[in-house]
Structure 1
Amino acid sequence: MKTKDAAPDEVCTTQQAAEILGISVSSVQQLVEAGVIEAWKTKGGHRRIPRHAVLAYKSTPSPALGSRAAAGGVAPRELAADGLVSIMVIEDNPMQRALYERQIGAWDLPVRLSFCENGYQALLQIARSQPDVLLADIVMEGIDGYEVVKTILDDPKLASMQIAILSGLTAQQLDERGGVPPGVVFFAKPVNYDELRGYLRACIAQRLRVLK
C-alpha cells in the first residue's frame, strides 16, 4: 500500500468500509492485505480505502477473500442440498476441536462443520466432499496441515475453496516452511475469535453472493 493524501469524502476508514460491506473490520483488513480491495496508508500510518473500491467490491459478484477461483476461471460449485456453507477444520488436539465446535456453533452461522484429526484424513474427506472453507492447523504427525494446503493450491478443481491457517508457529518458523501462501489467511494461536468470526462471515457472504 502506498502512502498518499486524498480528499476525505473520497475515502473510507476500515470501520466505514466494514459498515458499507456489512462485514467485520478484520475482514476488511484481510481483503486489503490480500490485494482484493485497493488501499493505502496515510503519513500517520492509517489505512485509507477509496470509496469507489469499496462500492466496486460490494457490487461485484465474484471476488473472494483470498480466493483463487477468479484467476483460474473455475466455476463456483453449488451449495449442498441443505443450503449450508461447509467448513472443514483440521486439528489434532481434541480439546481444540471441541473449542472450535463450541465457538463456531454459538455464532449461529449458516454452516455445516466437519473435523479431521490429521492431514491424511483431511485429504480423503476433501476429495469426497470439497468443503467451501478450510481451517487448517499446521503441526501434526504424518501429513501436516502445510502439505494439505499445498496440495489444495496445486489442484485447479479446488480453486474456489477459502483457506485459513490457524497455527502457533512464529513468523520465522512459517517462513522456514515457505511462508503463508498467496490467497491464504493466517490466524495466530491463541486464535482471536472475533477475527475468526469476521473471516467466516465474509467467506459465507461471498459464497452466497457468487451463487445468486
Structure 2
Amino acid sequence: MLKEQPDVCTTQEAAAILGISVTSVQKLVEGGEIAAWKTPGGHRRIPRASLLAYKATSGTPRTDLATPARAALLVVEDEEMQRAVFAAQFKKWELPIDATLCASGYEALIEIGVRPPDILFLDIAMKGIDGYEVMETVLNRRNLREVNIAIISGMAREDLDARGGVPPGVAFFPKPVRYDELRGFVTACCMRKQRAALA
C-alpha cells in the first residue's frame, strides 16, 4: 500500500497547522479559499502548499468561522412575568445572543452606558423613564447608530402616534408578542453582526 505524500494533509492536520477547527477548514475549502480534493473514500486531502499560502496571505488566523460573533441583546420590560417569558424564549431559540433584562428605563440607560447593545427591545409604558425616552437617547447618540431597536408594546398604534410614532428604522411588535416574528427579527440582526465581524 502506497503511503500518502508528505506534502498532503488531512483536514485534522490542516486544522492543527492553521490553529482553527476542522469545521473551519471545511468551510474554507468549500468557500474556495483553500484547494483540496476528495479521495474515493470521501476523505478530503489538502496540499500543504495551499495551507502555507493561505496562512501567509491571511496573516493572523481569522476568528474561528465555526464560532459566530455573539450579539448583545438588551430587553427593557417592567413586567416580571414578561421578562421571564423572554428569557425562556431566548433559551429555546439557541441563537448567538447574550441577553440582559432590565426592569426600568433607568436601569437600561446605565446598562447602555456600560455595554452598548447590538439589539434593543423596548416596552413603552413604564414608570419613570419610559421606553420612548430610552429610545430617543439611543437614537441621538452617534456611537449607538448601529443598534437595532424594536418597540414591543401593548399600546395601540394611535397612542404611539400621539407620542411621536415609530421612528424610521425602528421595528414595532404589538403585544401579545408573536415570538416567531420576534425570532426572525433577532436572527436577521445576528446575521448582520456576523457579516460585520467577518468584514
TM range (shorter): 0.5 to 0.7
Contact 2:76 2:105 in 1 (8 A): yes
Structure 2 letter corresponding to 1:129: R
For residues 1-212 of structure 1, what are the structure 2 equivalents within 5 Å? Answer: 83-212=69-198
Counterpart of 1:125 in structure 2: which amino acid? Answer: E
TM-score (norm 2): 0.65
Deviation at 1:83, TM superposition (A): 3.7
What is the DSSP-based 3-state SS (H/G/I as helix, E as strand, rest coil) of the residue aligned with 2:88? helix
- Counterpart code for 1:202: A
Runs of 5+ unmatched residues, structure 2: 1-67
Structure number, greater radius of gyration:
2
- After TM superposition, which residue ranges in structure 1, 4 or more long, deviate above 3 angstroms? none
Q: In the TM superposition, what is the alpha-carbon distance from 1:211 to its structure 2 partner?
A: 1.9
Q: CA deviation at 1:105?
A: 1.1
Three-state SS of the structure 1 residue aligned to 2:135 is helix
- RMSD across aligned positions (CA): 1.4
The one-letter amino acid of 2:179's match is Y
AA partner of residue 144 (structure 2): L
User: What is the identity, as a one-letter code, of the residue corresponding to 1:126?
Assistant: I
AA paired with 2:100?
S
Amino acid at match of 1:142: G
AA matched with 1:205: M
Counterpart secondary structure, 2:106: helix
What one-letter code is carried by the residue in structure 2 that aligns with 1:168? G
Higher relative contact order (CA 8 A, sep 6+): 1
Whether contact under 8 Å (2:69, 2:197) holds in the other structure is no
CA apart distance, 1:104: 1.4
Q: Structure 1: 5+ residue runs without aligned partners?
A: 1-81
How far apart, in 1, do the equivalents of 2:122 and 2:148 lie? 11
Instruction: In structure 1, give the amino acid aligned to 2:178.
Output: N
